[in-house]
């Protein structure tokens, strides 16, 4: 018996079927099982430690991600309507930008359209108002000119503030000119030329005695100045329309804070 045991052990060692490559896949080594179980335990412990060490903000964000995805996949009716109108506005503005560059369909008329836009710029109007104020000798004329100067300054400040808040860019990548930088008219919404043209036309219609043809020409000038900014690609259609609205509101504001003749004379004497 003792001699048969060493023989059976030697036979098992020399048996080819006991080699590792002939063992069944359904009966893996215990060492492999132990290594896999230990690696799973270690990965589970590491994941638990990472979850414990993570910040509560990250947990909230991970919990909120499915809700945000649902909100993006199921937008509200207002969001769909707003995005649709925005897309229509951008598409129509690009189509009407016929003078956006020299290669456009109306590229040859770009200089003329720019000249029309300069007639609605703030710097020439402020300079002209100051010159007329210096040369004016009547109290009524000085009163109107001082309030016009106030309206122009308010227009520049209000439009610049609204543009800084909105920071909307135009339909085309066009850099503002030097006069635009002077009046801080660097963004698209609202259109400063349109608001100024609307405010000036309403101001002149209320405080100047004009014939009917001149009144019609004044309104047409304001419309042409506003939409010329769309033609050169600086503003969207909604930027110009909102500029007309803000121009009218600025006129109403100037009417509410209208400076009397005595106030104007005092300011002129100080100046």
Instruction: In whole angstroms, give the CA distance from residue 24 to residue 22.
Output: 7
The domain in which residue 154 lies consists of: 107-270
Evaluate whether residue 4 is within a structural domain: no
Q: Which pLDDT score, from 0 to 100, does residue 7 have?
A: 59
| Phi and psi angles of residue 84, each rounded to the nearest 5 degrees, phi first | -65, -45
Number of domains in the chain: 1
Q: Which pLDDT score, from 0 to 100, does residue 30 have?
A: 47
Evaluate whether residue 206 is within a structural domain: yes
Query: For 154, what's the count of Cα atoms within 13 Å in the CB-facing half-sphere?
Result: 20
Q: Which pLDDT score, from 0 to 100, does residue 59 have?
A: 55
Say what the alpha-carbon torsion angle 200, 205, 211, 213 is, to the nearest 10 degrees: 60
Angle between helices 212-231 and 237-256 (to 10 degrees): 140
Evaluate whether residue 55 is within a structural domain: no
Positive/negative CA dihedral, 210, 156, 230, 92: negative
Q: Which pLDDT score, from 0 to 100, does residue 244 have?
A: 96
| pLDDT < 50: residue spans in the chain | 16, 21-22, 24-26, 28-35, 44, 46-49, 51, 53-54, 65-71
pLDDT digits (tens, 9 = 90+) for 22-43: 454 445 444 444 445 555 555 5
Q: Which pLDDT score, from 0 to 100, does residue 15 have?
A: 56
CA nearest neighbour of 197 among 134, 231, 158, 246: 246
Evaluate whether residue 173 is within a structural domain: yes
Active site residues: 193, 235
Entry pTM: 0.69
CA nearest neighbour of 196 among 240, 229, 161, 152: 152
198 within 8 A of 247, measured Cβ to Cβ: yes
Evaluate whether residue 136 is within a structural domain: yes
Q: Which pLDDT score, from 0 to 100, does residue 18 have?
A: 56
Instruction: In whole angstroms, give the CA distance from residue 92 to residue 240.
Output: 13
Instruction: In whole angstroms, give the CA distance from residue 162 to residue 150.
Output: 18
Evaluate whether residue 142 is within a structural domain: yes
Evaluate whether residue 184 is within a structural domain: yes
116 within 8 A of 224, measured Cβ to Cβ: yes
Evaluate whether residue 199 is within a structural domain: yes
Using CB atoms within 10 A of its CB, is residue 26 exposed (0-12), middle (13-18) or buried (19+)?
exposed
pLDDT digits (tens, 9 = 90+) for 194-210: 999 999 999 999 998 88
């Amino acid at each position: 018996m003792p001699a048969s045991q060493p023989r059976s052990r030697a036979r098992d060692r020399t048996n080819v079927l006991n080699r590792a490559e002939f063992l069944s896949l359904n009966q893996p080594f215990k060492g492999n099982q132990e290594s896999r179980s230990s690696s799973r335990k270690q990965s589970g412990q590491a994941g638990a430690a990472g979850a414990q060490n993570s910040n509560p903000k990250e947990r909230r964000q991970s919990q909120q991600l499915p809700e945000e995805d649902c909100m993006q996949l199921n937008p509200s009716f207002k969001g769909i309507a707003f995005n649709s109108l925005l897309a229509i506005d951008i598409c129509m503005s690009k189509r009407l930008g016929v003078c956006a560059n020299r290669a456009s369909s109306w590229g040859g008329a770009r200089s003329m359209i720019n000249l029309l836009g300069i007639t609605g710029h703030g710097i020439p109007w402020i300079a002209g108002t100051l010159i007329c104020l210096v040369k004016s000798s009547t109290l009524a004329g000085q009163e109107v000119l001082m309030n016009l100067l106030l309206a122009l300054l308010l227009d520049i400040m209000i439009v610049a503030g609204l543009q800084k808040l909105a920071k909307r860019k135009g339909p085309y990548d066009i850099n503002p000119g030097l006069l635009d930088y002077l009046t801080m008219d660097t963004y698209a919404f609202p259109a400063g030329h349109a608001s100024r043209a609307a405010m000036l036309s309403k101001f002149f219609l209320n405080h100047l005695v004009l014939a009917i043809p001149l009144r019609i020409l004044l309104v047409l000038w304001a419309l042409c100045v506003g939409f010329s900014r769309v033609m050169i690609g600086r503003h969207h259609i909604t930027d110009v329309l909102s500029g007309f609205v803000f121009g009218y509101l600025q006129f109403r504001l100037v009417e509410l804070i209208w400076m009397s003749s005595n106030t104007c004379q005092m300011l002129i004497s100080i100046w």
